Amino acid sequence: MTGDLLVTTERAVGRLRLNRPQAIHALNRGMCVAMLSALEAWRADLSVEAIILDHLPAPDGDPKRSRGFCAGGDIRLIAESGAGDGAAARAFFATEYRLNARLFTYAKPIVAVMDGITMGGGVGIAMPCRYRIATENTRFAMPETGIGLFPDVGGGWYLSRLPGHIGVYLALTGHRLDGAEAHALGLATHYLPAAALDEAKRRIVAAPQDIAAILSDLSAPPPEARILADREAIDRLFAADRMEEIVAALEADGGDWARAQLATLATKSPQALKVSLKLVRDGVTMPTFEDEMAQEYAVASHVVQRHDLVEGVRALIVDKDQSPRWQPATLDGVSDHLIDQIFAPLPEAEAWTPYGDDHG
């Protein structure tokens, strides 16, 4: 297949290559459907032993067109749909989440190459993979609170399982991790120099049963993980279960780091902050990944037609005035009742399921 996703096989390795450089390979529904179809075809194909998931570099070598693995999902479509009946946005989320769940449960080893920007939906397709390569180019983040959304695609599951309260910190602030930090936190399984990636892929194609040894052999010692220096402050100041208490703790601290976090949080959607905090706190209690995705789909279905998502995308992505007008405008204005409504389960006929008519 040509277009936004290239699906090929090389010897005993299936290749899924994101090919939407003008959008930093952000996922649209067609790409998700194509990946689901390929994974289903390879599932019972004994000639396919492993899969590599990466992005296709720009043919002209322009680094700006090759700067990311996957910048997220098709957020413009989601916002445009949310401004109307929300049907296209819900269809996208349903398919994307089925892809996330399929990757999570896939029996054959998958290698995700997180070289460059890996955010939002890119995190969602990389994290379920057995092998996750970070490089010096990796920029890993879940920045959704800045556009009125929340860290979905399994974010509640993965972030809630990070050490201490780092997951809450990442969910609320959208802080970007570099490759060394992603590796130190276990978000990446291996750290390779970007210059070694072609050799890694070549060796995996030649010997897919030796992936672990190949990646270990080509790994390099990562630089110091800077986020670990902030671990004490993160665990102390992001420990509360209520957003107002986190803000109060940061205000009471008064240090430079705490003031910087307050300034960051002040730019985020108050509704999205409270939703994201609850999502991460709930995530650790979810019995299965599919339970997590069902909850995230219900939350996404309720959030997508609310004001903040449409306004956040307008301010940060469309008009780029960086001045979103959130409703409610303050944390106090986001009631517990509103959060309960957003987290309410969907009627059975509308609820997310792991399988559907999108080849999932």
70-90 per-position pLDDT tens digit: 999 988 889 899 889 999 999
Q: How far is it, in rounded angstroms, from Cα 316 to Cα 334?
A: 22
Q: What is the mean pLDDT of the chain?
A: 95
pLDDT at 172 over 80: yes
- Which tens digit of pLDDT belongs to each residue from 245-298? 999 999 999 899 999 999 999 999 999 999 999 999 999 999 999 999 999 999
The reported pLDDT for the residue numbered 228 is 97
The reported pLDDT for the residue numbered 74 is 86
The reported pLDDT for the residue numbered 33 is 96
Q: How far is it, in rounded angstroms, from Cα 259 to Cα 172?
A: 15
Instruction: Provide the token pair at 289.
Output: 């990944």
The fold of 5-350 is 2-enoyl-CoA Hydratase; Chain A, domain 1 (3.90.226)
Active site residues: 73, 121, 144, 152
317-to-79, 145, 322 alpha-carbon distances in Å: 10, 14, 9
223-to-134, 178, 229 alpha-carbon distances in Å: 12, 10, 13
End-to-end CA distance of the chain: 18
Q: Which residues pair with 50 in a beta bridge?
A: 13
- Which tens digit of pLDDT belongs to each residue from 298-336? 999 999 989 999 999 999 988 899 999 999 999 999 999
CA quadruple 266, 268, 270, 275: dihedral, nearest 10: -140
List helix spans (H) across the chain. 29-43, 75-82, 87-105, 121-126, 155-160, 166-173, 179-184, 197-206, 211-218, 231-237, 243-253, 256-265, 270-283, 289-303, 307-313, 336-342
If you count them, how many residues does the chain have?
Answer: 360
Cβ-based neighbour number of residue 59 at 10 Å: 9
pLDDT at 65 over 70: no
The reported pLDDT for the residue numbered 171 is 98
Q: Whole-model pTM? A: 0.95
Residue 113 pLDDT grade (very low, low, confident, very high; cuts 50, 70, 90):
very high
pLDDT at 132 over 90: yes
Helix (H, G, I), strand (E, B) or coil at 331: helix
